[in-house]
Amino acid sequence: MVQLSTSVCLLGGLLGLFLPASVQMAPTPDRMCPPLQTLNDSLSHRRRYMKHNFPINYTIRIHHNEVFKLSNISRMRLQVEGLDELVLQRLWFQVNQGVLKKIIRVMPERHPSRPYTAELERRFRDAEGVFVQSHPAEVFQQELPETIQDTWDDLTEEPDRVPESRWRFASPKSLLDNFCHTMHCLFSECFASTEAQQDYCSVSHWRKGRKKDLQPES
């Protein structure tokens, strides 16, 4: 299997690192699950670190495409016929790379949530590295569907060139909620339940089963 260089892994990929929508990929590689499950362990403490340690109604400024919800995934699947999961998975990594950077950027060095967030980012990068290495390099050298390419271009645009209308404000907690929910949706095989099959891409799943499906705080 051909692998991308370490520098590409760390940079999160270059423009166009996706398969066309018509190509169907194999299920999530088994080696992806351990780092994603470790990441999920960290995310289970997000309420404590992203809500309790911030002022009430605290928000940060982010790109509108970084508000990446289950509804965004559903909409993209409708817009692009036969959209490959690899495309959405790669976009998920690109989105949340930016989200974590922006959350860390607003924290002073002594902020009580900074060590947690730095560790979360480290685990995220570990998962991204495994993701890239789990696929042949040529897989990441195909053109994106136009809709996804537009989103990717927006996310990688220089901040000072982004129009004011494209910026949004969101709480750190809500951003990590999106991070967690979309991770379960796009890598559902790594979070299989011993109970009945779960639809992690359904908003109702998270509303009805919050206490059951999210791990308790420590």
Residues, the chain, total?
218
Q: What is the pLDDT of residues 160-191, one digit of tens each?
A: 888 888 899 999 999 999 999 999 999 999 98
> Where does 25-213 sit in CATH, by number?
1.20.1250.80
pTM of the predicted protein model: 0.80
Q: What is the pLDDT of residue 19?
A: 36
d(C-alpha 123, C-alpha 117), whole Å: 10
The encoded tokens of residue 9 equal 């892994």
Task: Give residue-wise pLDDT tens across range 116-146.
Answer: 999 999 999 999 999 999 988 888 888 889 9
Of 188, 17, 170, 174, which Cα lies nearest the Cα of 94? 17
Domain ranges in the chain? 25-213
